[in-house]
Structure 1
């Protein structure tokens, strides 16, 4: 049984080359539909990532006591780099903090007279992504307590409203992105399905002849379903390759001040989703064409 299925699949792939131009145009048409869907997914993915980066995070401000040993503080900074869910971290020695404050207030060097008696402590600004689940508030309070117990730490601040805003945005993001992806998959299915059904018209005479001589329905359908699957895999592979080339050209197009946005490629999950949808729709289009 397995050997027979492999044989019918091989025949379906081999028969594809009997109509090379029709097959080529079918792959190109399906690939273009998949590329358009991929571009929209790429846009949606990056917009979602950027909004989550800006709104789906909680920031903690840590201040050490004035005159704390900077070697010990730097050791703590190194440990903080390995904290779970940490996204970004900025650290300031008393000197760098005074320099930044001077630039913000009156320009470079305006507060140089404070260097001998610097009133600013060492500080760090930590940005954490929200962990999955419904215990984010417990996590934030636990992290706050952990940071406060560090040696020489005088104060730790964070805004609880920022946590609520981050949780709200993550919920909205999840409720929007999947319906949009579902609608996009439906549009791609309609375009790809009609393209494959039209391509099957080139083999209409072959199907009718096999039916007239009494060939079993699966003897007719299996090779065509296999060719539909190969068409879907080839088209989605070509589409992902074109998307990758487009991404390489556009990756740093927005990486300039004050935007500083680096466009990221589709994650593996969405690449597999695009490949699976295109392949399944090609197989379904072949099935509908043969059934009729």
Structure 2
């Protein structure tokens, strides 16, 4: 039995030599569909990576009341440093803030005359890493309330859209990505299915003779299904190869100011899912065609 299956598999592979032009066109179409689907996933993957970096961190600007005592402010700075999930904390005395402002403005930022009557308050910039189990806007709002409750703090600012933008984009990609990939899978199914039908037409006499002499359906279908499997396997591999070349070409295209974005390749699980999906679609299209 095993020898017969191997022999039928060899017939299916040998069909590539008998009808090379038709199979080459099919492989080209399947490879291009796999490449387009992979390119969509690659784009979404890299955009998600960049936005999730922002989503994983929330920054707060804190301002203490004018005339706040230095000991009180430093005590509250220590309280903030002891908070959980604090990733980065920069503090500014009124003098530090004046120097920063002068450096930002350049030549027009000479505020030496304000040194004895500095109107700027104590301030700080606190960056918190969002815990994995609290990727919600409510967590940032609770932290905002906690920071505002410090006795000497007068104002606290943060950008709630920082997390909302990333969450909205992730929801959008989940909504848009799969219909696009599904459409490309349908194109691959139609291409492979039509090619198998053309192959059947060229072998119609052979199939009819096999049926007349009592060959079982699986005996006739196995070589054709083997051909569909190989088309999906080779086509998906070629598509991923083209995608890898495109990623290498575009790797540093955006790695320049002000973007500094390095285009990374798809993770292994997505590559496997893409290849597996193309193979399954090719097998399904072959099965429908030979039915």
TM-score normalised over the length of structure 2 = 0.69
Asked if the contact 1:148–1:154 (Cα under 8 Å) also holds between the matched residues in 2, the reply is yes
- Return the offset for 1:241: 2.3
Gaps of 5+ in 2: 65-69
Change (3 A) 1:242 1:256: same
Identify if the C-alpha distance between structure 1 residues 98 and 210 changes in structure 2 by more than 3 Å, giving closer, same or farther: farther
Question: Where does 1:30-41 land on structure 2 (aligned, <5 Å)?
Answer: 30-41=30-41
Cα separation, partners in 2 of 1:254 and 1:195, compared to 1, 3 Å: farther
The answer (yes or no) to whether the contact 2:62–2:123 under 8 Å persists in 1 is: yes
Q: Is the 8 A contact 2:193 2:289 kept in 1?
A: no
Q: What are the residue-to-residue correspondences of 1:156-171 with 2, within 5 Å?
A: 156-160=156-160, 167-171=167-171
Residue in 2 aligned with 1:124?
Answer: 126
The Cα of 1:278 is off from its aligned counterpart by 1.4
Cα distance change of structure 1 residues 94 and 278 upon mapping to structure 2, 3 Å threshold: same
**Contact 2:85–2:129 (CA under 8 A) maintained in structure 1:** no
Q: What is the root-mean-square deviation of aligned Cα atoms in Å?
A: 4.5
* The one of 7, 13, 17 aligned to 1:11: 7
Aligned to 2:106: 106
The answer for the alignment partner of 1:43 in structure 2 is: 43
- 2:247 matched to 1:241? no
Alignment counterpart, residue 92 of structure 2, candidates 87, 91, 94: 94
Q: Report if the CA contact (8 A) 1:8-1:222 is conserved.
A: no
* Counterpart-to-counterpart distance in 2, 1:272 and 1:58: 31
Q: Hey, what's the Cα distance between the residues in 2 that align with 1:100 and 1:198?
A: 74
Which whole-Å CA distance do the structure 2 matches of 1:166 and 1:33 have between them?
29
Q: How many Å separate the matches in 2 of 1:111 and 1:197?
A: 82
Q: CA deviation at 1:288?
A: 3.0
Give the match for residue 68 of structure 1: 74
Q: Matches of 1:113 and 1:38 in 2, distance apart?
A: 61
Check conservation: 2:85, 2:130, Cα contact below 8 A: no
1:181 aligns to 2:187 (yes or no): no
Alpha-carbon offset, residue 209 of structure 1: 3.4
Q: 1:132 to 1:190 in 2, by over 3 A?
A: farther
**5+ unaligned residues in a row in structure 1: which ranges?**
82-88
Alignment counterpart, residue 86 of structure 2, candidates 76, 80, 85: 80
Q: Cα distance 1:74–1:48, how it changes in 2: closer, same or farther (>3 A)?
A: closer
Q: Larger C-alpha radius of gyration, 1 or 2?
A: 2
CA contact (8 A) 2:63 2:121 kept: no
Which range moved further: 26-35 or 248-257?
A: 26-35
CA–CA distance in structure 2, aligned partners of residues 115 and 20 of structure 1:
84
User: Structure 2 vs 1, CA of residues 77 and 247 (structure 1 numbering), >3 Å: closer, same or farther?
Assistant: farther
Aligned residues: 276
Offset of 1:253 from its aligned partner? 0.5
Q: Which residue of 2 aligns with 1:59?
A: 58
Pick closer, same or farther for the CA change 1:289–1:170 going to 2, 3 Å: closer
Residue 262 (structure 1) aligns with: 262
Q: How does 1:12-31 map to 2 (within 5 A)?
A: 12-21=8-17, 22=20, 23=23, 26-31=26-31
Deviation digits for residues 157-193 of structure 1 (CA, Å, limit 9, x no counterpart): 4345665565555444433333333333323332343
Contact persistence 1:8–1:219 (CA under 8 A): no
Give the corresponding residue for 1:85: none
Measure, in 1, the Cα distance between the counterparts of 2:196 and 2:44. Answer: 27
